[in-house]
Amino acid sequence: SSDSSIGKQVNHEIIGIDPGAGLMKQTAQVLKDYDLKDWKLIEGSSAAMAAALDKAYKDKKPIIVTGWTPHWMFAKYELKYLNDPKGVFGKDEQIHTIVRNGFKKDALSAYTMLDRFEWKAEEMAVVMSDIVEGKKPEEAAAEWVKKNGTKVDNWVKDLTKEKGKKLKLAYVAWDSEIASTNVVKIVLEEKLGYKVEMLQVEAGPMWAGISDGSADAMVAAWLPTTHKDYFDKYAGKFEDLGANLNGTKLGLVVPKYMNVDSIEDLKT
């Protein structure tokens, strides 16, 4: 009955994240394509979304959030993605490393390290979980780097050490990117002698900053779907060094205790 509909249970609200995220644009498209007229997508941040999820989960209350993998929340809670039969959230994606034009000539060892940088979703998850359990991002990243010496050594093998040359890494405060950007920062500093500044920005300014040269690099580009608008807008104004992580997913996420399996079920 309509009284017990999922829409009524959650007040027709989907808890979103920062408005610049590709995930937000995709979710807005979902509302259109699935004809979810009464529904609202609530803007906020990754941290606010996670806090809302935590609160609802503890009370076994219904909630729908915008979510993605890799993310610590799938280890901490029993969650499921709602099926997306129309495929609005896209299929295979990777996280790419992007640098500004001219970066190779200005900082060859950093460029080469960033070009070699790749890791697995499970490795990123270790850093993310340490952070959510209370470690500072730079501590969690430093510990991961220490424990994964063989892998890290391959990223920096035979590269020249600098003496405090400055670099700027742009990133958005998405949990996945807080983890990856901190790991890359530690490697560039401890293994290659750079002095790295991390610039926390929104998604649009992150792409703009690489494209106008005010930032050097980022490891936070979700392609080919999630950041397609940004990728197309700035085409030719950056260099794509390819994937640093495979096996991502995006979508609408609910606790497993909720009796709903598909985005199509939100209509009734």
What the block records as the tokens of 242 is 């390819």
Under the binding rule (CB under 6 A), the answer on residue 68 touching ligand PBE is yes
Q: Give 155 or 222: the residue with its C-beta nearer to ligand PBE.
A: 222
Of 6, 16, 22, 79, the one binding ligand PBE by CB under 6 A? 22
Q: Give 22 or 209: the residue with its C-beta nearer to ligand PBE.
A: 22
Max Cα distance, the chain (Å): 68
Q: Give 156 or 245: the residue with its C-beta nearer to ligand PBE.
A: 245
Pick the piece of the chain touching ligand PBE (CB under 6 A) from 4-12, 16-24, 115-123, 187-195.
16-24
Q: Which of residues 233-252 bind ligand PBE (CB under 6 A)?
A: 250
- Asked if residue 23 lies in contact with residue 251, where contact means CB atoms within 8 angstroms, the answer is no
Strand duo 195-200 + 166-171: pairing: parallel
**Run of H or E including 208:** helix 203-211
Residue 235 CA to residue 229 CA, distance in Å, equals 10
Site size with ligand PBE, rule: CB under 6 A: 12
- Tell me the residue nearest to ligand PBE as measured from the CB: 23
Q: Give 141 or 192: the residue with its C-beta nearer to ligand PBE.
A: 141
Under the binding rule (CB under 6 A), the answer on residue 98 touching ligand PBE is no
- Asked if residue 70 lies in contact with residue 128, where contact means CB atoms within 8 angstroms, the answer is yes
- Asked if residue 249 lies in contact with residue 94, where contact means CB atoms within 8 angstroms, the answer is no
Bridge partners for 199 per DSSP: 170
Binding mask 129-168 for ligand PBE (x = CB under 6 A): ----------------------------------------
One-letter identity of residue 170: A
CB of 226 to ligand PBE, least distance (A): 5
CB of 69 to ligand PBE, least distance (A): 9
Strands of the 79-81 sheet, one edge to the other: 40-42, 13-15, 65-69, 249-255, 79-81
What the block records as the tokens of 63 is 């909630």
CB of 29 to ligand PBE, least distance (A): 12
- Separation in Å, CA 242 to CA 2, 95, 223: 47, 8, 9
Report phi then psi at 20, rounded to 5: -80, -10
Q: Which of residues 172-231 bind ligand PBE (CB under 6 A)?
A: 174, 176-177, 203, 222, 226
Pick the piece of the chain touching ligand PBE (CB under 6 A) from 21-29, 159-167, 182-190, 234-242.
21-29
Which residues of the shown chain bind ligand PBE in the complex (CB under 6 A)? 17, 21-23, 68, 174, 176-177, 203, 222, 226, 250
